[in-house]
Structure 1
Amino acid sequence: MKIPAALDWYAVSTKPKCEDIAVRGLERLKATTFLPLYTEEVRRRCKRITKMRRLFPGYVFIGLAPWHMPWQAICEVNGVHGVVSFGRVPALIPGAIITGLQAAHIMGSFDIQPQIVTYRPGADVRITDGPFAGFPARVHEARGTDKIAVLFSIFGSSERIIELQLDDLALVA
């Protein structure tokens, strides 16, 4: 999406989780919109998935020509809560800020990359999630890219090998 330089930029507050609805409505009013997103890898049901998230939840940027500012119509768009203002004057956002945000958005600068931690066999770790959270363990071997086998002892019993997700472990310093 190319942003025209001759626009005045403003922030519009949206109703909770209604950014997409607000964008569609604002675009019907011929406003240029910008909704910066980022990707994040999350775990759902033991699988890693990539989710698109809003960089500024609850806000959308709109670009309007200086002679075309239909504030009343903007506030009546479905999903819009109001225009961010100082008193009764809508807050103008410098175009350079929007241009910088868009450039960073296109380059993926806001995307969250998963942390890659390497566990060596014999390293002491602490289990951080699940029924054994808080218990110490020792790395036995890596199994694939996202699982690890650890030696685990509970209540002084003999050590057993259990398989855990990498996200469920933390190195002990």
Structure 2
Amino acid sequence: MSKNRRKKPSTHRRKPSALTHRVVKVRRLPAPADIDVEAVWYLVATNPQKERRAQLGLEFRGYKTFLPSYAKEVKSGRQIKEVTRPLFPGYLLVNLAGQPWYPIRQVDGVHRIITNDLKPLALPEGAMKEIVRLSHEEQDLAPQPWAQQLQEGAQARVAKGPFASFLSTVVAVLPNGRAQVLVDIFGRATEVELELLYLEAV
């Protein structure tokens, strides 16, 4: 075989590496102005990456819902695009408003409604107010100096917000003063994004 024979170009398209993507900006999406924080809200677990589908299905059936979300600008090469992500992946909030809860289980995208003794488990008093407040809070926060040295796998305690006093494991420190952490919510490790200011050393 000739050493000068050229190799045929590969037809297999290589997937872009995650390292080529960089988060350049993150902002929380405000809660709807008409959300009733005084109502009783319940937690619904969704199928993986089906939070929006579950929300649309529940609203179609007349339930009031809230899906806390954030938007991030991601730079890949020269392109910047904005993507929306749930703040609490795998969960959304629902207000029954007098409607029965058991039909929720039949909605497309819903895995189950969180229960206790076979009854829906309501959010603790004041939790909904705090979640809504956080969605409107200014985000220009200065992280503690030690937090800037956090690395993947480090342990940190959540000092503020609805997850206050929870222990977390750092997944990634973002270049915008925030960190992706794993928090144990109702017995399930859930990835959420928090300000570094909200984390303190264990």
Q: Number of residues paired by the alignment? A: 113
Unaligned runs of 5+ in 1: 117-173
Distance 1:100 1:86 in 2: 23
- Correspondence for 2:120: 90
Displacement of 1:19: 1.0
Does 1:100 find its partner at 2:130? yes
SS in 2 for 1:41: strand
Q: Percent identity?
A: 32
- Correspondence for 2:101: 71
- Correspondence for 1:27: 59
Find the partner of 1:3 among 24, 32, 35: 35
SS in 2 for 1:74: helix
Deviations 1:127-168 (A, max 9, x none): xxxxxxxxxxxxxxxxxxxxxxxxxxxxxxxxxxxxxxxxxx
Distance change (3 Å), C-alpha of 1:17 and 1:41: same
Which amino acid letter does the alignment assign opposite residue 3 of structure 1? I
Distance 1:98 1:7 in 2: 9
Deviations 1:15-35 (A, max 9, x none): 111111111111122211000
- Correspondence for 1:54: 86
Q: CA RMSD in A?
A: 2.6
Distance change (3 Å), C-alpha of 1:108 and 1:69: farther
Distance change (3 Å), C-alpha of 1:109 and 1:75: farther
When the two structures are superposed, what TM-score results if normalisation uses the length of structure 1?
0.56
Distance change (3 Å), C-alpha of 1:32 and 1:38: same
When the two structures are superposed, what TM-score results if normalisation uses the length of structure 2?
0.49
Distance 2:79 2:55 in 1: 31
- Correspondence for 1:36: 68
Unaligned runs of 5+ in 2: 1-31, 141-172, 178-202
Distance change (3 Å), C-alpha of 1:5 and 1:50: closer
Distance 2:52 2:133 in 1: 21
